[in-house]
A and B are shown apart, each in its own frame.
Chain A
Amino acid sequence: MSEERKAHPNPLQRPLPRRRLLGGTVGAAVGLGLLGHAPSGLAVAPAPPAQPEAPPRKPGSTNIVHSTNPPLEETRVEELVGLLVPTANFFIRNHGATPQIDVATWRLRIEGHVERPYELSYDELRSLPEQRSLIAFLECAGNGRGRFDPPAEGTPWIMGAAGTAEWTGVPLRVLLERAGVQPGAVDLVCEGGDPAQVTRGLPMAVAMDPNTMVVWAMNGAPLLPDHGYPVRLLVPRWIGVASIKWLQRLEVLDHPFDGIYNTVRYVLEGRPSGAPTEPATVQPVKSYINQPAPNSTLSRGQHLITGYAWSGHAPIARVEVSTDGGQSWQEARLLEPRFPLAWVRFDFPWDAQAPGSYTLASRATDEAGNVQPPTVEWNRQGYYMNAIYSFSVTVA
């Protein structure tokens, strides 16, 4: 990117073209997760939904497919072995059909309450000198929804609608500063180019956070269409819908944005306590044990319990593991490397000598002092399920 181009951004000259959309009418596989209860009262993992007949959408993917149109897939967490989730197995939550966007005509338009509205092409964006990579977790606000009882509305994700990846792009603030944000800016409207045209308002303070990025690569390769190709937002720590895919327009507002995905969807509402409706924003502290897997049978002897923990509020400070349904807890080890915006791996050596049934659980605490609770209040759309996750295994 030359200094001349930076100093004289492209003027807005035309409306953005409408994208050709990928068709498809494969039926959705809708299942409702059931919830059992261990003797301790901790919730037990529901069984994963059955695989539909449709083949995997990506070679090598082993995801649980809740729906193919819109694509709704979650990671089989028991298969995870490292810090990063392979792209083929990263969760997918799209609101409509996945668009196929022609990168040659794609533009990102930046406008609104700014001094110099402009558009960027894909090549212009990728040539910006402020490029960086960031390792961060991303999670659907409804992850764990399948554990609500009675079932909440929406896809009954178990625990696999979360993952950590390496993201490459430029800080969003670089693009906004180039446009010259005017005083009094309140929200940034972020618009996707999918058929649902998912549009979210992001508080300007979050938009200007150096870790909020406009990204074009994931785990070292261009984004796949299901993950927002050619360009998406990455808003670390926030619910996944804030990280708008197929990003095509940014509009600075001098007033709050009241779009559907801020005020109707992705809100905590219908709570039995009568708590007022409020938007879902930052992800709460969570963890899960991924090995051994739920309902597995183990031989007597030494086993290594492994899992993942993360929080949108602060890095993870500690993780405790229970093998007796939450009656006693022991400190797990946190594994390196640790990145402030990513999840952390933990392990705990377990000497399982006596045959019988055991209820395993993990409990994470973040550096802000947030601790996973035993239970979470029900809400209609099923967000923020961060209750301690437990399940049974058998030692034979």
Chain B
Amino acid sequence: MPYPHAMRAVAGALAVALAAGAALAAPVVARPAAQSAQVVQGEQVYARACASCHGANLEGPVGPPLDAARLAAYGTAARLYQYVHGTMPMDAPGSLSDQEYYDVIAYLLQRNELLPPDTTLDASSAPDLAIRR
């Protein structure tokens, strides 16, 4: 049986995976000092609708950590909005107002230092707002 060899390989992979999991659990970024009114609103939305799963500091662990890599995978704020609007909060998808979704996405981007200064996120600005690390 090939199991002993296979299990050594798996043990190594698990060790790497565990290390990766530990890294993901770390706080995302420090909180920037300046926050727009939209970001402040978004922080309140986040605390009310998102933090129970994604953590007070965006760290998870019930939901995935909302770090820069994860947000950047969506490419633009409009695509991130499309996903979040359709599927979140997990227990009541689509239950927030459009404004609340934009506000909370602005907050997430700000926390990850991905929101350009003086940016207000809405339906007209989101398609052109590229999320780049």
**B-binding residues in A (CB < 8 A):** 21, 24-28, 30, 40-41, 67, 69-70, 95-97, 149-150, 153, 194-198, 258, 260, 263-265, 270, 272-273, 326-327, 373-375, 377-378, 380
Contacts and interface: CB of A to CB of B under 8 A. Distances in A.
Interface in B78-126: 79, 82-83, 85-87, 90-95
A363 B6 CA distance: 16
Interface in B32-90: 53, 62-64, 73-75, 79, 82-83, 85-87, 90
B29 interface: no
7 residue pairs, one from A and one from B, having the closest CB atoms: A196-B86, A272-B16, A96-B93, A28-B91, A25-B92, A378-B17, A375-B10
Q: Is the interface of A mostly helix, strand, loop or mixed?
A: loop
B30 interface: no
A88 B39 CA distance: 45
Contacts, number: 90
A264 B92 contact: no
B86 A195 contact: yes
B21 A260 contact: no
Nearest to B94: A195
Interface of B: 1-3, 6-7, 9-10, 13-14, 16-18, 20-21, 53, 62-64, 73-75, 79, 82-83, 85-87, 90-95
Nearest to B62: A30
Given A41-B7, A153-B64, A272 B13 contact: yes
A165 to B, nearest CB: 25
A196 B14 contact: no
A154 B85 CA distance: 18
A197 B86 contact: yes
B64 to A, nearest CB: 5
Given A260-B79, A326-B1, A374-B6, A27 B91 contact: yes
